[in-house]
Amino acid sequence: EQDGKFVLAKINVDDNPMLAQAFAIQSIPAVKAIRNGAIAGEFLGAQPEPAIRQFVADLLPSEAESLAREGMRLAEEGKTQGAESLYRAALSKEENQPLALLGLSRLLVERGDDADALALLGKIPLNTPESDAAQQLMSQIRLKQGGENAGNEQEYRDKLAANPDDLEARFELAQALAASGKYQEALTEYLEIVKKDRGFQDDGARKAMLEVFDVVGARSELSEHFRSELAKVLFS
């Protein structure tokens, strides 16, 4: 009836006790809807047919989401022009469709339209599956922009060699390092600034560290290490 848009599976809880425990099944019938590897909806007990149809309809992708997913597929194949057309078509039907906003933003970044990309990324709601990727891309753009405003790395290294207390030079060096993907070195310099003067550049070093954490992954080994070091400085 739905042309294969969802799979209906019936599981005997007596034959699958571990699965029943994992999903915290306490009474039956219990219906769990799983989408993108996570529970997207559920209900207990017998329900009238109209309620079940609405439950399913709410879970199925909208036309805009389907267009966005097709755009993602084309983008992965390198067909960026076709992908962009589909993203824009999706947004014409649903102006804040998160997958389309994220996909189009990635294309804009690839061609250097960072400002437009940031504007689109800012529209993605925080409670969507795309929000983490959006935040990561926003942080990446901001770090890149900070590095573009900085000068040559060696220039700032020379200034620091002459005056290790030159926080402006250290901050600009960290910005340049972060923009070029040298995240560990950048975090080391940012942390040194926080140690010396947390208020420098309106707490800019600490804020920049958080941006780097977003880019490299909040749970990455690098983030965990420097988050711990930052906490020692802030709460010592």
pTM metric for this prediction: 0.68
The residue type found at 134 is: A
CA distances from 51 to 35, 46, 54, 157 (A): 19, 10, 5, 66
Let me know whether 228 and 177 are in one domain: yes
Domain range spanning residue 165? 150-234
- Closest by alpha carbon to 193, among 208, 215, 180, 179? 208
The CATH number of residue 155's host domain is: 1.25.40.10
Q: Which of these ranges, 83-92, 128-137, 162-171, has the smallest mean pLDDT?
A: 128-137
The rounded Cα 148 to chain-centroid distance in angstroms is 23
Let me know whether 54 and 68 are in one domain: no
Let me know whether 220 and 165 are in one domain: yes
151 or 62, greater pLDDT: 62
Angle (CA) 105 178 230, round 5°: 110
Does residue 113 lie within any of the structural domains? yes
pLDDT of 25 higher than 90: no
Q: Answer with the one of 59, 89, 111 that is the final residue of a domain.
A: 59
H or E stretch covering 34: strand 30-35
Let me know whether 165 and 211 are in one domain: yes
